[in-house]
Amino acid sequence: MEENWKDTAEDWRDSPFLIVLYEYAVKNAGIPSDMGTLIAYLLLFLVTWYVVVWAARCILSLIWPLVFCLLALFLFRLLRSYDQEDLLDILFQGITLVADTIQHIIFFCCTMPIIRLESSDKEIFDTDIEIAKCSETIKTALEDLGDESDNSVLPLPNVNSAILRKVLHWATYHAQDDPQQAQEDENKEKRTDDISSWDADFLKVDQGTLFELILAANYLNIQGLLDVTCKTCANMIKGKSLQDIRETFAIANDFTPAEEEQVRKENEWCEEK
């Protein structure tokens, strides 16, 4: 019976409860003949176990407040290095990022089906079809494919992955825009000062990226994105002289002085007084 006891203890040696019994087996101590002694050892083990757990919890309850205090002190010193305007800007960007992430997750978890878009550099984007249909180019391609569009890859050879990612970000945010309102805005007189705050922040990009977004919006036939990118570009040259515009867009002057003077005279009527 003692040999069976050793085998059982060896099989269950990783159990906290049987550690005590295992010690009996490996030391050839045998099974305690006195049941009262066994119960006493068991109670001693349980009491010791709970005391250790209780002590660990007490230590953690003391350490966590200290950790939080140190973290709060670090954040306080970090925040003091920024002025109020910077802090508000950081807070706004953080809230915007969280909101965009939640919206992105909701759209991609709760909407079906999915279309796979392939950028010019061969990166695949799994996109909700309703979001992708904000592009008239993609919408027409899906209508042409019909049932064959399921699980198929739609190549977009004129848009690289970085720009396509931004286009889809814009489309996801504007997916719930009212089409009727968009149509009414289309019929209104064009203005450049009606860009939403979200779009203004979205288009705070370098000049090259802005131009690529314009080209992508034109190729994909996304009228809303094309309008807002063109308005942003127009605001960059509003009120600037010819020389300022050349410097802004790095345009070389290939006119001779005589040709430039002639063009200036021909367009004097449209210059602001």
Q: What tens digit of pLDDT does each residue of 142-155 get?
A: 888 775 556 678 89
What pLDDT does residue 40 have?
A: 67
How does pLDDT run across 221-245, given as a tens digit for each residue? 999 999 999 888 888 888 777 777 7
Neighbouring CB atoms inside 10 A of 221's CB total 15
| Domain covering 114-238 in this structure, CATH number | 3.30.710.10
Of 40-49, 107-116, 205-214, 241-250, the one with minimum mean pLDDT is: 107-116
What pLDDT does residue 104 have?
A: 64
C-alpha–C-alpha distance, residues 216 and 219, integer Å: 5
pLDDT at 90 over 50: yes
pLDDT at 89 over 70: yes
The torsion of the CA quartet 195, 207, 90, 67, rounded to 10 degrees, works out to 150
CB 125 within 8 A of CB 164: yes
How does pLDDT run across 119-150, given as a tens digit for each residue? 999 999 998 888 888 999 999 988 887 755 56
Of residues 251, 262, 221, the one with CA closest to residue 135: 221
Beta strands (DSSP E) in 84-203 are 114-118, 124-128, 153-155
What pLDDT does residue 236 have?
A: 84
Q: Where are the alpha helices (DSSP H) in 118-178?
A: 129-132, 136-145, 161-173
What pLDDT does residue 67 have?
A: 75
Average pLDDT of the chain, as a whole number = 75
Choice between 32 and 246, residue whose per-residue pLDDT is larger: 246
